[in-house]
Amino acid sequence: MKCIVVDDEQLAIDVLSRYIEKVSSLEAAATFTDAVAAVEFLSQYPVDLIFLDINMPDLNGLQLLNSLEKKPLVIFTTAYSEYAVESYNYNAVDYLLKPVTFDRFMKAVNKAQNLSIPAITVTTSQENAAAPVTLQIKSGNSTHFISEDNISYIEGAGNYVTIFAQDEKIMSLMSMSRMEALLNPRLFVRIHKSYIVSLARIRKTDRASLTVGNTELPIGHTYRDRLFRALQK
């Protein structure tokens, strides 16, 4: 999940940023001590989740949220408990009272991750919606055209991803989050901060790992529930 932190106190930002770095499923896009700057950023770069302080000068957290046309998930953070009731009127995922502990932070993040998983509605057009498409993947000076049904899994390393297909291996300058966004969520699932797999290519699985073809891949703790929900569907 791509997220930002908005808080007029740098110390609070530092604490949340450190927590975010520990969670492989979170990607910090930016941090802001100025709420107006955060609004400008969000108008150009949408995110999945905001850690948002309420009591800030010029533009408070509730006003910031009201100003957004497309509202991401929000976890409010504040030192003032009296804001709690009002924050829930904004359909907040959670409300964290400062100083925020890591276990309380993780509880809120887990709620957000559960809410971010889209429900799949079964309709007569579901089969067409799950049909594989051909991706255009740039690698160096070349562009590869690869069908989703030929992909076994994707491995991420730094700013690069490597796509393991049936008959080729393609490396591309791309983040794992960007790669994940390109793929049909009914056909692929992220199982680890470094791996996305084709559901159709999974041969066996247990709590800690799964096998795609002849390759065993680890299952990240924070991705485990998402994987097994996808397999059940």
For the chain, what is the total number of helices (H) and then of strands (E)? 8, 15
Look at residue 83 and give its three-state secondary structure.
Answer: helix
Is residue 96 in some structural domain?
yes
Is residue 82 in some structural domain?
yes
- The boundaries of the domain holding residue 66 are 2-116
User: Does the pTM exceed 0.75?
Assistant: no
Is residue 86 in some structural domain?
yes
Out of 71, 86, 116, a domain closes at 116
Same domain, 154 and 197: yes
Burial of 215 (0-12, 13-18, 19+ CB in 10 A): middle
Same domain, 49 and 130: no
Distance CA 137, CA 170 (A): 8
Out of 66, 88, 116, a domain closes at 116
Q: What are the residues facing 146 on neighbouring strands?
A: 135
Same domain, 82 and 141: no
Q: List the CATH number of the domain containing 183.
A: 2.40.50.1020
Out of 116, 142, 177, a domain closes at 116
Q: Mind listing the pLDDT tens digit of every residue in the chain (233 residues)? A: 899 999 999 999 999 999 999 998 899 999 999 999 999 999 888 899 999 998 898 888 889 988 888 888 999 998 876 655 555 556 788 889 999 999 999 999 988 887 765 433 333 334 444 566 888 898 888 888 889 999 999 999 988 999 999 878 999 998 888 898 888 888 999 999 999 999 999 999 988 899 998 899 999 988 888 888 888 76
| Domain total of the chain | 2
